[in-house]
Amino acid sequence: MADQTRRLNIIFDLDGTLIDSAPDIHAAANKVFTANGLQPFPFPVVKGFIGNGVGVLVARLLQSQGLDPAGPLHSDLVAQFISLYEDAFDLTHLYSGVLQALDALAAQGHRLGLCTNKPVGPARAALRHFGLDKHMAVLIGGDSLPQRKPDPAPLLAALSAMGPGAALFVGDSEVDAETARRAGVALALFTEGYRKAPVDSLGAKLIFSDFAALPGLVSHFAPRIVTSI
């Protein structure tokens, strides 16, 4: 178990970091839009809009079809999407090595939590479905606060709920990088998620492409993270 000087509060993003949910998000978006007489989307279009929460996703999809992103249709589509997506896991999978990495980090004595722009209901359902809920002491979702990432408030709220200690945020995207930067928290960047920007532009302290490597990286760099934050 990690000693007190090396134990971290490690907060994870969800979509694109722990789970690859883009196929289910794409399927749900197309079902909702076609059910309302609108055109479906190619997969890359929907994947490119993931990261800022359901409301922003739907707004961007509406705008891409020349529709008002803040019009009366927006709230109806958001509600329909959330209802459909909350238990949609047929096309979603864990990234390789996630469960083993979380087990190892917990065994090292680190405290784990989740900060995602996915609403709390679908986020909690995903954690439960994939057996990740046993590790997450804190869950802050996209509807937990008025603010969403990249505003630092959700990440800071998650860390506050976990108690004192140095922090590490594990994410995959530009949104996560900006959130970490604005919160003053070190970033561990998972390179196989939904990122579009170059890796070296995001200011990550740790960079990894395989979750099997994460516990070792954390063990090696935890003293530096602790002393630099």
CA angle 54–55–58, rounded 5-degree value? 80
Active site residue 13: yes
- The one catalytic residue in 13, 15, 20, 176 is 13
Closest CA to 218 of 11, 14, 16: 11
**Alpha-carbon span 196 to 217, nearest angstrom:** 24
**Residue 51 falls in which region: left (phi positive, over 0), alpha (psi -120 to 50) or beta:** left
**Alpha-carbon span 174 to 44, nearest angstrom:** 17
Secondary structure in 3-state letters for 160-193: HHHCCCEEEEEECCHHHHHHHHHHCCEEEEECCC
Closest CA to 50 of 86, 89, 22: 22
**Alpha-carbon span 226 to 118, nearest angstrom:** 29
Q: Please, which residues bridge with residue 190 across strands?
A: 208
**Alpha-carbon span 91 to 46, nearest angstrom:** 15
Structure tokens, 154: 């959700």
Residues annotated catalytic, as ranges: 13
